[in-house]
Amino acid sequence: MSVEQRAERKSGEGSGNRKKGRAGKEQRIIKDSLFPLSLFAIYLGVLLLMSGLHVGLVVLMNKLEWNEIVQSILPVTYWGIVAGGLTLFTRKKMRSTYEEPLHSLAEAAEKVSNGDFSVYLPTPHTADRLDYLDVMILDFNKMVEELGSVETLKTDFVSNVSHEMKTPISIIKNYAELLQKRGGTDQEKQEYARNIEEAAVRLSDLISNILRLNKLENQRIDPEIEDYDLCGQLEECILHYEELWDEKDLELDVEMEDRTVVQADRSLMELVWNNLLSNAIKFTEPGGKVSVCQSVSEEYAEVSVADTGCGMSKESVRHIFDKFYQGDTSHSKEGNGLGLALVQRILTLMNGEISVISEEGKGSTFTVRLPVAAKTEEREQIGGDEYGGE
The domains of the chain are located at 3-148, 160-217, 226-376
Which pLDDT value is given to residue 355? 92
The whole-number pLDDT of residue 217 equals: 62
**Average of per-residue pLDDT values in the chain:** 77
* CA dihedral for 41, 43, 49, 51, sign (positive or negative): negative
Residue 153 has a pLDDT of 62
More confident residue, 280 or 99: 280
Q: Are 333 and 314 in contact (CB under 8 A)?
A: no
pLDDT recorded at residue 335 = 47
Q: What's the confidence (pLDDT) of residue 163?
A: 61
User: pLDDT band at 13, cuts 50/70/90?
Assistant: very low
pLDDT confidence of residue 353? 92
The CATH number corresponding to 226-376 among 3.40.50.300, 3.30.565.10, 3.30.1230.10, 3.40.50.10490 equals 3.30.565.10
Is the pLDDT at 77 greater than 70? The verdict is yes
Question: Distance between CA atoms of 254 and 126, rounded to whole angstroms?
Answer: 61
List b or e across 259-269, with b for residues whose CB sees 16 or more CB atoms inside 10 angstroms.
ebbbbbbbebb
State the distance between the two ends of the chain, measured CA to CA, in whole angstroms: 56
Q: How far is CA 363 from CA 214, 280, 292, 309, 327, in A?
A: 30, 9, 14, 4, 13
pLDDT of residue 294: 94
- CATH number 1.10.340.30 given to 160-217: no
Position 267 confidence tier, pLDDT thresholds 50, 70, 90: confident
Instruction: State which of 24-28, 237-241, 321-325 shows the largest mean pLDDT.
Output: 237-241
**Bridge partners for 306 per DSSP:** 291, 365
Q: Identity (one letter) of the amino acid at 157?
A: F
Q: What is the mean pLDDT of residues 158-176?
A: 75
Mean pLDDT is highest, among 69-73, 120-124, 206-210, 244-248, for 244-248
pLDDT digits (tens, 9 = 90+) for 213-231: 666 666 656 778 889 999 9
**Continuous segment of H or E residues that includes residue 289:** strand 289-296
Q: Which residues of 39-72 are buried (b: 16+ CB within 10 A; e: fewer)?
A: eeeeeeeeeeebeeeeeeeeeebeeeeeeeeeee
CA distance 256 to 254: 7
Residues 291, 357 contacting (CB under 8 angstroms)? no
Under the banding of pLDDT at 50, 70 and 90, the label for residue 4 is very low
pLDDT at 331 exceeding the cut of 50: no
> Is residue 29 predicted with pLDDT exceeding 90?
no
